[in-house]
Amino acid sequence: MMDSAAAKLPQREGSIFKGMIKAYDDKEYKKALSSADLILAGFPNHAETLAMKGLILSSQDHAAHKKEALDLAKEAIKQDIRSLLCWHVFGMIHRTDKNYTEAARCFQVAIRSDPSNLRILNDLAQCQVQIRDYPGFLRTRHALMTAQPTQKQNWLGFVVALHLVGQRQKALEACNAYLGTIPATKKELPPSSEPDVEQSELFLYKVQLQVELERWAEALQTLDQQEADIIDKPVWLQQRALVLFKLGRLQDAEVCYRELIDFNSECHADHYGLQEALGLKGDLTPEKADRMAALYQDLRQKHPASITCFTMPLIALPASHPSFRPTLDCFLRRCFVKGMPAAFIEAKPLYASPEKVAVIDELLRGYVEGLTSPAQRFAGDDHEAGAAVIVFVWLFQAQHLDRRGLFQEALAVIEGAIRHTPTMLDLLACKSRIAKHCGDVKAAAQWMDAARRMDLADRSANTNSVKYWLRADEPVVAARLVALFAKQDSEAHEHLCDMQCMWYFLEKGRAHHRMGEYSMALKSLRLVDKFLGEMIDDQFEFHNYCLRKCTLRAYMQMLDLGQSIYTNRYWMAAAVELIKVYCDLADRPELRTPRKSPAELAREAAEEAAKKAQGPAPAPFDLDLDLDLVCPARQRTHWDGVIPMGAVGRWVVAVAASPEDLSPEERKKAKLRAKQAEKRKAKKEDHDTAATAAAAALLEESSLKTSKTDEDPYGHKLLALDPLAEAARLAKLLEEHSPRSLEARLAAFEVSLRRGKYLLALRSVRGALAVAPESPDAHCALIRLFHSVDQASPAVAGRVAELLGPHRAELMGQQSLAQFNRAWMGRHGTSMPSVLAGLRMVGLVEAEAEAAALGQLVAPECTSPKLADWRHAHAYLAGLGTRGAAALQELVARGAARFPMAPLFVAARAGALTDDLLVLEGLPSGSTVAPGQTPPEEDDDADEPPEEYIPISARGQAVYERMQAAKAAAAAAAAAAAAGSS
């Protein structure tokens, strides 16, 4: 390829062309670029040189020369459309730009000129598997194996290609053919004591193919024959247990599963496999329940430290079984005595059964009664429990009551626990969660922040605190906290982007959306979408690596992940939220006008403060002085001291003089002046440094530090994009990858309805009804769809109604929209979200009946256990103004009775949850610190911890009291000293 391109040039230029290729291969891009320019100076239309110049520019700095490189490659193809090198280079530039589809097309054109070119075939195969073109990948891999049958990588690539297209039988045959060549190869190698990991992986991959083909006997034979060669024994046991179970050899499968549990007693999959092998899955008869209890009693004796051996029978056994209560009692006591704050998380699955919840409640009451008695022991125990055991019982009881919706009782329990042990982080975190469930997100954020300050090195507490501040619509405070764990040599925003921290940008985008900052919401939420694109692009480097290292099982898992990556819950949540933002922008075009957000205003204020702190820059001054006129009698030689001789404006004129020329008094004065000048200089430098640091801190606290290369730090350019086009792209991905998601279907419906795509909207509605037939949101979508069709222009409505008519009759019968909605409200009169959905549709299709229907929303039988449903009802009635005032008043009264701690319904409780926090932090109960604000910062120069600091729980209450006493003594001593000096 290189020789044919050089042959088109004269001998001198041909030699330069070969040197250019060598320089490019050695990554000497400047040398290669100068050679290309030298050739093009004499032959400006030489296609291969034009293409190579574009490739060199792309490799040197693709971001800066992307357009120029593509233009040069296109010009090269125009000059010689049949050139193999030009098409190959064009594909390589597209590949660098991560446009793998276009790169594959260019490589396919190039390979036509030289079907046996191995380099182009390898490049083509990588691009084809990246874009999931598996049939094309199979053809390319077959060509590579035919061209180089002795290469291991070509064989394994061909096997994987057959597997990906579903030809597992041929893949197994090809795998056996390659494995048959290994023994002969191994004999030629020197003996080695190290295990052959690659061969082990190949045997496990062969077993995987046999399992997928359901050839159980062959798979068992492979596992038994190659046991010595397979290094990963847990995987070998798992595969063997599965194969034995499929062959009906249940006793042998049981032995394998027991070995796996001995290896890792916390693996749920192995426990489920053991239960299945023993016939204990599904509905348990009394006889099976007894066997289940006996099984796990034996496993608990064998693995006394295993939590799963306790929770598995508790989940499977009914509450009425004789062993349920003793097992639960033993488990809870063990957790409380050992001090396990996560005990409630392990017990959460039990709350699906009301009978089990009743047993838990009864046991907890007994524990509290026994441990708070003078004996301080569990019922039936002879020895006294530790003083800390009751704290963990209270913690579990508060979480138990919170789970049941008894928020007042939960708060009473957790507040008593905090008074008992105010230095335990988990207690404050529990109260924060209770406050969140009560609806007071500001108090929840403050309590979680108080928990964080108990252990400043706890990343989990810091993460939860950041999340709670974001949910309280305080992104500035959250950004300051998240920076605590960022790398010191990078900005917090860049560090979070490098770590692909999706949860942070998702919560941050939601907060900005609630605050009406649409550009910043787009900026944060689109980062989550960008992270998934980066994950997909990162797979490109592993296609050849996995084949080279023989990690075929992990490689297949990676490819499966690439297929299902858009089912990631963070991406789905971000995509739905992005669609909501885009729909708001489409409904209200005035929101697309860039406006200065509070963050931008804060940044401008910080920059102005930094300029004022630095002061005006000194005016330039020319110090072209004749030193002989300043001190003519002195010899100017250099020595260690610098003597300031005078000042001109703000500039000091210094003369280097010999100390022998000065009298002792002058020498003393000169040294004193030098010291004073150094002090003034140091003071000015400290002042400038402090001002710069203060400005930087203000920028960081305001979440305003952004990358220097970010041309749009506040997302203003994102507002200029077509909102519905961007939303349609996301909606297509949601419906394609999550067809069983109700939120995905409803989000796609919102986009299609606004675009006037009624057939796509109908598909989304039918999909939503298939997932949740009684969903209030799906009901609203159905009525809104046909109402929009009825309100459309006659030309559009006629054509669409003809297509949608059969579907309307199928879904609604012969009823009108109003009749269908009234029937819905009649069927769901006790469900608040359903009645609210019906009321919204009443306002749409029969507005005159809306006032009469409001009474159904505030009827005693209409209720919901979720605070969010009450909040939506409150917002709906508040939006009606005077028409819904009476109904709103009644709803607030009912809500106050149902959620007595929610600030939405009881304004008097709005700050009550923070009163104890302010007292705990040393602030008076009537402090002016409002919910959502942080207490005043302490002096950074102080040696003692700030007032809000609370020692971690390991230090104990005594340490905390000693610290407070020491601080009080220091304050008293300072006051006495001040009084004495006065």
Percent of the chain with pLDDT over 70: 80
Q: How many whole angstroms separate alpha carbon 611 and alpha carbon 842?
A: 59
**pLDDT tens for residues 434-461?**
999 988 999 999 999 999 999 988 889 9
**Averaged pLDDT, 611-637:** 41
Residue 291 has pLDDT above 90, yes or no: yes
What's the pLDDT band for 216 if we cut at 50, 70, 90?
A: very high
What's the whole-number mean pLDDT along residues 598-627? 53
Q: What is the DSSP string of 253-284?
A: HHHHHHHHHHH-TT-HHHHHHHHHHTT--SSP
CA distance 491 to 482: 11
Q: Residue 451 in contact with residue 953, Cβ under 8 Å?
A: no
pLDDT of 933 strictly over 90: no
Q: What is the pLDDT of residue 704?
A: 41
Give yes or no for a contact between 5 and 50, defined as CB atoms under 8 angstroms apart: no
pLDDT digits (tens, 9 = 90+) for 545-574: 999 999 999 999 999 988 889 999 999 999
Confidence check: pLDDT of 934 > 80: no
Report pLDDT for 682: 74
pLDDT of residue 914: 53
Record the pTM: 0.80
Which of 120-134, 228-242, 472-486 is least confident?
472-486
* pLDDT score at 602: 65
Element (H, E) at 778: helix 776-791
What is residue 943's predicted lDDT score, i.e. its pLDDT? Answer: 34
pLDDT given for residue 183 in this prediction: 64
- Residue 653 φ then ψ, to 5°: -95, 120
Q: Distance of alpha carbon 119 from its chain centroid, rounded?
A: 38
Distances (CA, A) of 707 to 64, 493, 594, 641, 865: 17, 8, 20, 44, 45
Other CB atoms within 10 A of residue 473 CB:
17
Given this model, what pLDDT does residue 386 score?
A: 81
- What mean pLDDT is predicted for residues 576-580? 96
Q: What is the pLDDT of residue 900?
A: 81
Report the Cα–Cα distance between both ends of the chain, in Å, rounded: 94
**pLDDT at res. 489:** 55
Rounded Cα distance between 332 and 325, Å, is 11
The Cα 384–Cα 921 span in angstroms is 34
Only one residue has tokens 């010899």, namely 635
pLDDT at residue 174, as a whole number: 95
Instruction: Note the pLDDT tens digit of each residue in 675-730.
Output: 777 777 777 666 666 655 555 554 444 444 444 567 788 888 999 999 999 999 99
The answer to whether residues 521 and 591 touch, using CB atoms and an 8 Å cutoff, is no
Mean pLDDT (the chain, rounded): 83
Secondary structure, 3-state, 128-145: HHHCCCHHHHHHHHHHHH
pLDDT given for residue 630 in this prediction:
32
Collapsed DSSP state (helix, strand, coil) of residue 175: helix
Q: For residue 917, is pLDDT > 90?
A: no
Beta strands in 602-743 (DSSP E): 643-648, 651-655
pLDDT tens, position by position, 110-163: 999 889 899 999 999 999 999 999 999 999 999 999 999 989 999 999 999 999
| Statement: residue 329 has pLDDT above 90 | yes
Indicate whether 107 pLDDT > 90: yes
Which pLDDT tens digit goes with each residue over 950-959? 333 333 344 3
Give the phi and the psi of residue 95 in degrees, each rounded to 5: -65, -40
35-50, pLDDT tens digit by residue?
999 999 989 999 999 9
Mean pLDDT of 874-882: 91
The contacts of residue 187 (CB under 8 Å, 6+ apart) are: none
Task: Reply yes or no on whether the pLDDT at 787 is more than 80.
Answer: yes
C-beta atoms surrounding 81 within 10 Å: 11
* 744 and 735 Cβ atoms separated by less than 8 Å: yes
Q: Which residue has the higher pLDDT, 62 or 872?
A: 872
pLDDT confidence band for 936 (50 / 70 / 90):
very low
832 within 8 A of 857, measured Cβ to Cβ: yes
Residue with token string 């898992």:
557
Q: Which helix (H) or strand (E) holds 460?
A: helix 459-471
Confidence of residue 384 (pLDDT cuts 50, 70, 90): confident
Q: Quote the tokens at residue 883.
A: 């028409």
**Phi and psi at residue 644, in whole multiples of 5°?**
-75, 120
Average pLDDT over residues 314-322: 94
Residue 839 has pLDDT above 90, yes or no: yes
Per-residue model confidence (pLDDT) at position 143: 95
DSSP element (H, E) containing 888: helix 885-898
Residue type at 542 in one-letter notation: F
Q: 35: which residues sit within 8 A by CB, 6+ positions away?
A: 16, 17, 19, 20, 23
Q: How far apart are CA 714 and CA 306, in angstroms?
A: 51
Alpha carbon distance 40, 33 (integer Å): 11
- pLDDT top residue among 22 and 193: 22
Token pair belonging to 17: 């062309």
